[in-house]
Each structure stands twice: as structure tokens, then as C-alpha cells.
């Protein structure tokens, strides 16, 4: 990283002095001003939409507004003929969906789980830092509530938040019974980390692979159960009974290109977030499928969205090398003592305050010219990882943050000796589909859990509250569905027809279709393959392999 | 700054890519995203497993397309590995139970292919040998970073199922740990004090609640 030599020297020079320096704390008012001035939610890249339950009220990010005013990719002459009949259809194969499936295991109900990618290919598996639960000695669900409520700017749905905090310990117990391993102290007690905005250590972790640990356990548990898993099946529309009830879904098989209609007595929306919409051109820490599909589907059914304009930009997304741009650098690295520094090697914000404040502060440094520019014209600030080795002892990074080391070492960067460059990355959808305490949406037959929902986190989520969210509400939805299960209803697309009529009344027509399903940048999109098409664009240069058979990578060993 | 271009071949299709980008990003640029199954794009879901051949005659290898930077003349072959349902974990696992559940554990012929194939740098073969000796705590540690891409299993000619055993060991050990703090937290009835704290936080308007929550964070309780 010779291009940043001068700045890195300053970081080295100031390190000893910074070791015992207290964090630059700012007042609540200053923090609010910082957010209003620099947080991407407040730059004004929003507009109102003119259809559906939130019409002409809340402002939506442009990208989401366009999708909500776009047509479905389903052909207008498509008539849903039931291909699969089930009791419960779960849409989404991440933490919330799989938790719900496991919760329904003993319900006696037939459960199908459809996921656009494979089971577990979701934001859950990418979560690094940890999961909150009030288990520490100076802690309580009330304290957890207070931290989350202040972090969420007092906008949180207090009923949902109380459930989140009160049911945290039981959620952890459920996970440990399934065999999840959380980091422990030498005496066998849980090791708690601090998260940004937690007033006491409350975050349980499995190194910097907490989401991976949880997701692989959930996935392993569900694959040996009775859930029918439909991988590579993207939900493209919900069906209704001709009135106000949700009765199933139309799925698109991404491999065969065909539409599949499912009739279900209950549909659980667990489709996750929308980081891949890449609002305002921000990079994202999210997986390939995070395109807000569930928001579109629920909205067309008449479900309103809470805080649709609120997104979390994680303060530390990787900014260099180019191949890792946007990828998450866990907050717990700051919890362990890594400081955030500008081009002059100076601290400028308390690294452990709330995420939106830290993100806004980083953006301010860069906007005011105190950032570092990469050879690919990206900007960022330093995260002084080597400091941890000095304050917490040699080997700390390798032991507690193996994921960080593994990823950066591929690109010749060793976080043990070399600070890494970070900049906010689009990380989490704070808002989403409105639910009640039983995870019911405003439509009978439709439940929702996890990142697709809105309210519990207010307008800013705390670290470790999303993994807890999917566990607590994944469990709650699995309890609510059997108790409130409607009879099977007709499977029609009457809601879609009505929505299409509303769309035709708009002054503008948008060309894109929604749900988007894949990031625009990927060039991947919805395509029906009912009619075989001639293959084009598969030119190969002479001498290259024409075979699709993978070679044995070990043939020559 | 001008970025150097390189040519790579993916599933028989030659594309131009920018030096420094990953195979997945190169595919996206060329409109061939569907060629390789993709999930998290962050190296932890294991969807985008590929095998690689290099122009300079280096030995081929396996890797994750989302983390692998492109290089001139690289040939990439999609190598998806299907997940496998695994036997349920058991409480207080030991060597005998592991052997009974996975009789193939002793088949290992020590070719070390699994270790070479692992994109996470796990010492897979050594860990299989530790499984044979019943060193389960060490095995659990070995598989801490396992993303269950399945490559170790796919390249194992002896059908030893390394990562499947890895999660079986981890889950079995995890299930066997007692956590008194969890039993306590889930059994306890709510005390008057706790009810009072909830009332204090809930029974007021939003503005007042924000104030009360801020104070609550300082002391961790209500100061009466």
C-alpha cells in the first residue's frame, strides 16, 4: 500500500500516544446534527410513491420507490395452477426462515421452505460480530431495551422491542440446545463483548463468524428434519383469495426458468433485506439475493411499510482492495480496541457509539478532505487493527478475528501489522413490513419475520440485534402460525391485477420489473424459459477448453 | 488510473476481466453471472466453489469464485457441491459414537486432498486423524471456520465426509455444555423490581421514554 505511505507513517507515529487516549465523545445534540448533515438517509435522495398503502406519505429511497411502482415480471396472461399444496410456505432460507421451519417441526403441519439461492445463502451467514442477549451480571432485558431504544432514536415499536429483549436469553438457550458454540471464558462462562451503543458487554460471539456458526447449525438441523426445501425458487408474487387474504405464492425456478404456484394456508415472509439495491451507489455487505423482494410482494398485497427510508450503513465496510469493497469488517474489532483514524492519524469519533453516528462521522471526515483516497478513487479512513496486538497482546487478532485475517491476507494485507481502510457500506434495512407481536402482517394468511420487517429497531439497529431478531421472531412466528391458521383459500392474482390497474394510473411507466431478484450490477435477471431460445454470445477463442466437465484439480499431485 | 485487463475462461467462455477483481465480479461485468452458482459474495456460504487451471503450469486448485482474483489465462470450471443431510448430533459425544455414526472415518488414506481443497485453510486431514483418536475438542476448534462448501468431501476418494463429521462434533459438544446462566434466565419469574422497571420504561410518552432510557443506560436500573 505504497500509495498511502505518508498517511500510514502518521498512523504509526501517533499509535503509542493514542493507546491510552480516551475516545472523542460528542453530545447528543452534536450526534443528531452529524446524522442530519452526513448520514445517507438524510441526503434527500428520496421521493414519495403514489400507489399502495404508503401512497403520498413517507419518503422512499429512489431505488425502492421505483421498484414499488414497477410491474410484476409475471406475464399478464399467466393463470396460477396449483403445483404444490402445503400448510405453511416459508419464503426465505436465511436465519429467520429456517428458525421458523425448525419451530414448526412438531406442529404436524406440512412445511415448504422456498429460497431464491441455496438454503443458508443469506445475510445471516455473513453476520460476524455477534448476537445480543441480556445475560451479563450488570445486565437485564430492560437495560437491553434502553440501549436499543436510544440507538433506534426512540422510534422503535416498544412492544416488539420488549419481546426481542425479554426473549433473548431463551433464544440463546434454544441455539445452544441445537449445538451452537459461543465463545467462553476460561471458567466456562459466556464471553460478552461490547457492541456500539451497548452500555454493558452483552454480545455473544463465535470469533468473527457468529452468523456462520448459527446458520450452519440451523441449516444442519433443518436438513435432517421434515421441511420440504425448495432451493433456487424465488418468490415473485403472493397469491390471494380474491379478497384480502394471502393464500400462497408464485415462485420462479431459477434453474428451469419456470413458474411454480404454491397453495398454502399460511405464508411466512422471511426474505431478508435490500442491500443489493445499492442505494445511492453505495457498496453493500449483503449477499447476492438481498434485493428487498419481500417488501415488494407484501406491499402489493396491501401491507404497509414502516420506516421505508431508514437503512443502516455499517461504519466499517472494506474500502481497499477493490475486490473486497463493501464487505463487512466487524464492529467487534472496534470493540476489541481498534481505533478509527483520518489521514493525519487522528481519532475523530468515539468508535463505540451508535452505528449511524460513526458512519456519519466517517463520511464527514472524507467530505471535508481528511480521508484517504485509493488508487481506484475510493475513499476511506483507517481502522487501526495493529493497535489491538499492542493493547490486547500478540496473537489476539489471529485468535479472535480469523475471518478478517483470512480475507485480507489473500490480497497481501495483514491486519496484524497493517491498518485497513474502511468506509460505510449499505448493511441493513432498518424498516420493513409492519407486523404485530405475533409476526402477523396486515393481511390474514401472511406473517413476516426478520430483516424484511420493520419497527423493532427504530431507525438505527444495534450490533447483535439482528441475529437476535431472526431467532426471537423466527420462533414467535412458528408459534403464531399454528394458533391462527386459516383454512385453505382460492389461489388468484386478483391483488396483482388491482395493483397493475393502480400502476396504469401513474403518469410515468417504469421499464424495470419488480421484485428485482438480483443486483443490477450482476446483469442477472428474471427470465421465463418456457420456449427454448437459440444460444447466443458464447464465442470462445481457439485453443480454450470447450468441455464443461471440470478437470480433476488433483490429477497432477 | 488505467486498470490492466486480463483474459480468463469460465466454463468454456472467454471473457475479459479487470486485474484485481474476483471471478464473480468479472462474470457480472460480462453478463455471465448465471454461470457460477453464487450466494453471499463474501466467502462464507460456499456456493461458488470452482476448480481452476493456470496458464503458467502451476498445479490446479479449488477455490471460491467470490474471493479469487482473476489472472491472465486462468481457466475456471464451476464445481458446485450439493449439501448432504447428516446424522443427528448426540449428547456427550466420544470416539466410539463418532465411529459408529461415521464408519468411514477410518478409511482415510492420508492423501491430504481435503486439506489442499479447503478454501478456509483448515487442516482437514489432520483433523480427520484427530477424529480417529477421539480428540473431539480439537476437532471442534479445527472446524470453527468451516463454511461447509463441501469441497473436502467432494475431493475425498475414500468418502470420509470430513466437514459433515466436523459439524457433528461441534453440535454434539455444543449440546452437551451446561449453561447455568441460561437456565436461571429462562426460569426466573419476574420480580416486583423488574416489573417496576418495565413500567418505568413503557408507561410514558415517547419523548419521556427516550429520556428515561438514556438515564437507564447509565445506571443499568432506575435510581429511586
What mean pLDDT value characterizes chain A?
Answer: 95
Predicted TM-score (pTM) of the model is 0.96
Partners of B183 on chain A (C-beta within 8 Å) are 173
Partners of B31 on chain A (C-beta within 8 Å) are 523, 537
Give per-residue pLDDT as tens, A342-368: 999 999 999 999 999 999 999 999 999
- Tell me if residue A183 falls in helix, strand or coil: coil
Nearest-angstrom CA–CA distance, A461 and B94: 42
Residue B3 pLDDT grade (very low, low, confident, very high; cuts 50, 70, 90): confident
Residue B21 has pLDDT above 80, yes or no: yes
| DSSP letters for A362-403 | HHHHHHTT-SEE-TTS-EEEEEETHHHHHHS-TTHHHHH-HH
* pLDDT confidence of residue A389: 96
Give per-residue pLDDT as tens, A267-279: 999 999 999 999 9
Residue A531 pLDDT grade (very low, low, confident, very high; cuts 50, 70, 90): low
Only one residue has cell 444442519, namely A220
Tell me the CATH number of domain B5-78, given options 3.40.605.10, 3.40.50.300, 3.10.20.30, 3.90.1310.10: 3.10.20.30
Closest CA to A127 of A103, A166, A95, A170: A95
Per cent of chain B over pLDDT 90 is 91
User: Which ranges of chain B would DSSP assign to H, the alpha helix?
Assistant: 23-29, 95-101, 113-117, 124-132, 136-142, 151-154, 162-176, 180-187, 192-202, 206-219
Residue A545 has pLDDT above 70, yes or no: no
**Cβ–Cβ below 8 Å for B174 and A176:** yes
A334 is catalytic: yes
| Averaged pLDDT, A452-471 | 98
- Report the range of poorest mean pLDDT among A10-24, A42-56, A473-487, A534-548: A534-548
Residue B189 pLDDT grade (very low, low, confident, very high; cuts 50, 70, 90): confident
| CA distance, residue A555 to nearest chain B CA (Å) | 8
Residue A554 has pLDDT above 80, yes or no: no
| Averaged pLDDT, A508-515 | 90
Per cent of chain B over pLDDT 70 is 99
Q: Decide: A288 and A234 in contact? Cβ < 8 Å.
A: no
Closest CA to A203 of A50, A318, A327, A352: A352
Report the residue from B13, B155, B175 with minimal CB separation from A177: B175
| Averaged pLDDT, A398-402 | 96
Nearest CA in chain A to B66: A323
Residue A124 has pLDDT above 50, yes or no: yes
> Which is catalytic among the residues A314, A379, A475, A495?
A314
Residue A548 has pLDDT above 50, yes or no: no
Residue A540 pLDDT grade (very low, low, confident, very high; cuts 50, 70, 90): very low
Enumerate domains of chain A plus CATH numbers. Answer: 2-38+312-426 (3.90.700.10), 82-310+430-483 (3.50.50.60)
* pLDDT confidence of residue A13: 96
* pLDDT confidence of residue B179: 96
3-state secondary structure A494-542: HHHHHHHHHHHCCCCCCCCECCCCCCHHHCCCCCCCCCCCCCCCCCCCC
Nearest-angstrom CA–CA distance, B134 and B95: 4
Q: Decide: A352 and A335 in contact? Cβ < 8 Å.
A: yes
What the block records as the C-alpha cell of A34 is 452529524
Per cent of chain A over pLDDT 70 is 95
> Which is catalytic among the residues A112, A233, A334, A347?
A334
**Cβ–Cβ below 8 Å for A121 and B47:** yes
Q: How far is CA B5 from CA A10, A523, A543, B68, B73, in A?
A: 34, 20, 20, 16, 11
| Averaged pLDDT, B151-170 | 96
Task: Give this complex's ipTM.
Answer: 0.97
Nearest-angstrom CA–CA distance, A325 and B42: 10
Residue B187 has pLDDT above 90, yes or no: no
Residue A139 has pLDDT above 60, yes or no: yes
Partners of B207 on chain A (C-beta within 8 Å) are 154
Residue-range domain boundaries for chain B: 5-78, 95-176, 188-219
Nearest CA in chain A to B81: A118
Per cent of chain A over pLDDT 90 is 93
- Tell me if residue B97 falls in helix, strand or coil: helix
Partners of A190 on chain B (C-beta within 8 Å) are 179, 181
- Tell me if residue B10 falls in helix, strand or coil: strand
- Tell me if residue A470 falls in helix, strand or coil: helix
A300 is catalytic: no
Residue B183 has pLDDT above 70, yes or no: yes
- Tell me if residue A144 falls in helix, strand or coil: helix
Amino acid at each position: 500500500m505504497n500509495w498511502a505511505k505518508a498517511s500510514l507513517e502518521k498512523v504509526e507515529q501517533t499509535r503509542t500516544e493514542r493507546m491510552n487516549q480516551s475516545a472523542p465523545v460528542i453530545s447528543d445534540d452534536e450526534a443528531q446534527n452529524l446524522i442530519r448533515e452526513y448520514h445517507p438517509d438524510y441526503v434527500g435522495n428520496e421521493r414519495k410513491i403514489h400507489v399502495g398503502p404508503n401512497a403520498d406519505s413517507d419518503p422512499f429511497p429512489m431505488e425502492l420507490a421505483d421498484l414499488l411502482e414497477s410491474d410484476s415480471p409475471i406475464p399478464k396472461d399467466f393463470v396460477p395452477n396449483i403445483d404444490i399444496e402445503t400448510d405453511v410456505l416459508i419464503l426465505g432460507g436465511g436465519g429467520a426462515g429456517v428458525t421458523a421451519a425448525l419451530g414448526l417441526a412438531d406442529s404436524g403441519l406440512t412445511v415448504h421452505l422456498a429460497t431464491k439461492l441455496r438454503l443458508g445463502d443469506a445475510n445471516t451467514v455473513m453476520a460476524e460480530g455477534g448476537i445480543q442477549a441480556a445475560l451479563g451480571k450488570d445486565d437485564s432485558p430492560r437495560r437491553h431495551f434502553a440501549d436499543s431504544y436510544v440507538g433506534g432514536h426512540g422510534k422503535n415499536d416498544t412492544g416488539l422491542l420488549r419481546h426481542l429483549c425479554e426473549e433473548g436469553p431463551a433464544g440463546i438457550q434454544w441455539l445452544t440446545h441445537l449445538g451452537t458454540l459461543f465463545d467462553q471464558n476460561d471458567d466456562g462462562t459466556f464471553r460478552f463483548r461490547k457492541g456500539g451503543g451497548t452500555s454493558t458487554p452483552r454480545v455473544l460471539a463465535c470469533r468473527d463468524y457468529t452468523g456462520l456458526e448459527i446458520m450452519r447449525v440451523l441449516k444442519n438441523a433443518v436438513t435432517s428434519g421434515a421441511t420440504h426445501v425448495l432451493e433456487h425458487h424465488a418468490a415473485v408474487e403472493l397469491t390471494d383469495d380474491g379478497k384480502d387474504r394471502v393464500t400462497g405464492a408464485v415462485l420462479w425456478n431459477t434453474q428451469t426458468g419456470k413458474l411454480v404456484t404454491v397453495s398454502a394456508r399460511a405464508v411466512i415472509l422471511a426474505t431478508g433485506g435490500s442491500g443489493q439495491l445499492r442505494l445511492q451507489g453505495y457498496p453493500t455487505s449483503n449477499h447476492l439475493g438481498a434485493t428487498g423482494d419481500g417488501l415488494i410482494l407484501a406491499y402489493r398485497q396491501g401491507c404497509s411499510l414502516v420506516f421505508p427510508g431508514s437503512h443502516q450503513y455499517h461504519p466499517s465496510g472494506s474500502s481497499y482492495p477493490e475486490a473486497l469493497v463493501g464487505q463487512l469488517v466487524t464492529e467487534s474489532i472496534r470493540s476489541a480496541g481498534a481505533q478509527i483514524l483520518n489521514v493525519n492519524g487522528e481519532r475523530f469519533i468515539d468508535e463505540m457509539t451508535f452505528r449511524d453516528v460513526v458512519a456519519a462521522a466517517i463520511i464527514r471526515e472524507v467530505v471535508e478532505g481528511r480521508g484517504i483516497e485509493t488508487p481506484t478513487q475510493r475513499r476511506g479512513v483507517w481502522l487501526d487493527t495493529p493497535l489491538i496486538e499492542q493493547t490486547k497482546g500478540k496473537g489476539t487478532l489471529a485468535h479472535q478475528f480469523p475471518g478478517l485475517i483470512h480475507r485480507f491476507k489473500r490480497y497481501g494485507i495483514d491486519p496484524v501489522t497493517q491498518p485497513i481502510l474502511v468506509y460505510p457500506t449499505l448493511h441493513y434495512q432498518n424498516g420493513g413490513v409492519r407486523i404485530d407481536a405475533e409476526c402477523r402482517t396486515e393481511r390474514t394468511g401472511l406473517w413476516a419475520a426478520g430483516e424484511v420487517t420493520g419497527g423493532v429497531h427504530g431507525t438505527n439497529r444495534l450490533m447483535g440485534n439482528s441475529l437476535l431478531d431472526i431467532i426471537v421472531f423466527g420462533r414467535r412466528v412458528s408459534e403464531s402460525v399454528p394458533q391462527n391458521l386459516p383454512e385453505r383459500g382460492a389461489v388468484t392474482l386478483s391483488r396483482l391485477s388491482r395493483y397493475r390497474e393502480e400502476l396504469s394510473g401513474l403518469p410515468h411507466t417504469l421499464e424495470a420489473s419488480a421484485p428485482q431478484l438480483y443486483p443490477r450490477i450482476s446483469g442477472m435477471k428474471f427470465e421465463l424459459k418456457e420456449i427454448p431460445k437459440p444460444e447466443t454470445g458464447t464465442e470462445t477463442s481457439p485453443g480454450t477448453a470447450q468441455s464443461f466437465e471440470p478437470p480433476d484439480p488433483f490429477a497432477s499431485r | 488510473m488505467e486498470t490492466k485487463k486480463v483474459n480468463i475462461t469460465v466454463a468454456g467462455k472467454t471473457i475479459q476481466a479487470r486485474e484485481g477483481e474476483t471471478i464473480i465480479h468479472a462474470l457480472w461485468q460480462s453478463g455471465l453471472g448465471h454461470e457460477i452458482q453464487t450466494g453471499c459474495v463474501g466467502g462464507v456460504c460456499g456456493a461458488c466453489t470452482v476448480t481452476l487451471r493456470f496458464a503458467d503450469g502451476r498445479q490446479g486448485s479449488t477455490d471460491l469464485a467470490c474471493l479469487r482474483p482473476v489472472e491472465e489465462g486462468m481457466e475456471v470450471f464451476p464445481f458446485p457441491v450439493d449439501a448432504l443431510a447428516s446424522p443427528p448430533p448426540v449428547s456427550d459425544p466420544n470416539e466410539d459414537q463418532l465411529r459408529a455414526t461415521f464408519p468411514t472415518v477410518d478409511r482415510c488414506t492420508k492423501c491430504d486432498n481435503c486439506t489442499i481443497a479447503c478454501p478456509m485453510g483448515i487442516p482437514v486431514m489432520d483433523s480427520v486423524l484427530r477424529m480417529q483418536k477421539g480428540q473431539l475438542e480439537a476437532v471442534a476448534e479445527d472446524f470453527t471456520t468451516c463454511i461447509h462448501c463441501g469441497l473436502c468431501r467432494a475431493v475425498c476418494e475414500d468418502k470420509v465426509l470430513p466437514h459433515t463429521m466436523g459439524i457433528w462434533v461441534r453440535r454434539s459438544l455444543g449440546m452437551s455444555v451446561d449453561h447455568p446462566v441460561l437456565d436461571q434466565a429462562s426460569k426466573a419469574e419476574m420480580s416486583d423490581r423488574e416489573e417496576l422497571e418495565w413500567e418505568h420504561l413503557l408507561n410514558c410518552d415517547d419523548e419521556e421514554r427516550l429520556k428515561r432510557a438514556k438515564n437507564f443506560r447509565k445506571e443499568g436500573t432506575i435510581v429511586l
